[in-house]
Structure 1
Amino acid sequence: MAMDRSFLSRYLGIAPSTREEGVLRLLLETAIRTVDAAEGSVLAYDRDANDLRFVMTVNGPSSLIGQRVPIGAGLTGLAALTHEVQIGAPTFKTVDDANKATGVEGEPSAVIAAPMVSGDTLIGVLTGVRFKPGYRFTTDDGRAYGNFATVAALMLDQHSRLRELSGGTGDVTTAGFGPEEARILAAMASVARNRPDRLPRLAQLFEQMADIAI
């Protein structure tokens, strides 16, 4: 696990060694296991620069931390631009160069990029990478990774609202949401706070609910 807590704090508002950091790490670790990825990353949206910054990796090179990805560049930037999960071969050179520089054998054969979005607000992107030649991510992989990104976005958005609007009381706030959305957010926040080990199951439930809604 590689991360720079200054980037986490600056771009996601997550303090070192907090529950939120642990939950985000657990979500990323579980997501890459679910889709059988070799490594995964969290990129945060830098609103001032209007680009993405690597803030956390699992099994990936630490040299990625802090690197920028322009909005629209490669699959990761495209996921941020379209707010849709992207699957395919890697196309953004900086990431490939970072892998080579740290001794990773070969270039990534497949990339999955799932946007972390709350409402219409971009928070960042969750990525996963495979290196085995011929291995590709499937549509089901994309849907599963998207569900983990959704849970991560809800958790991060809830944390941001709590930090900005609660005045430091620690009380959960759902200000700005409708009653149904508020109930979902409150339930999700309770799971993240009390049973983070159940977050993978929560992601599965999001997938099932999406199937019902279609």
Structure 2
Amino acid sequence: MLAKGSFPWILTILGITSCFALAAYFTEYPYAKAGFTTGLLVLIFLFIFFRDPERYSVEGEECMISPADGRIVDIRGRKLCIFMNFQNVHVNRAPLQGKVTFMEYKKGGYIPAFCKDSHRNERQHIFIDTEHGEIEVVQIAGTITRRIVPYIKEGDFMEKGQRIGMIRFGSRVDVTVPDNFVIECNKGDKVYAGRTSIARLKQKE
């Protein structure tokens, strides 16, 4: 399955590649074959990058799941920072069930998403009211293509693991963990959106 919003990119490269293929077949244009080969490689990259596999969490209701594929690059108090490389799936998911109460889009710069100052980049703040309190998910764009594609709007009710949007190319997702959850991941851990538990509800004494 391909991510929502990916078809314009794929169709554009497919059209360009087709033109090079026709030029290589019908003309003696010296760069036609090279253009065709390059186009095919870019198409393969886009199909890999824009993949959007189904995810079914095996974790119970007491778990908070990762909103993004990638690696935990920082833990700041109750905030987890997840960096996504090119090979990661870039579709993000709701870490807990709840209602989207507020969304705020902010323009920004070109700082690499793994840097601590990347909060100055283009980003989308999503606030979700859950039964455990309000959480915030921040989608932060990277240096190459600053484009965040939301799949949701204010007032939507989200199931845990439901798709909330995607960030194109290198990027980061930050998420706050409610106080009544125990963080169970560490800096450097690999996580998967909609699948990996990042925090667990505290047991009642």
Same fold (TM over 0.5): no
Structure index of larger Rg: 2
TM-score when normalising by structure 1: 0.27
> Hey, which of these two has a bigger chunk of helix by percent?
1
> Hey, which of these two has a bigger chunk of strand by percent?
2
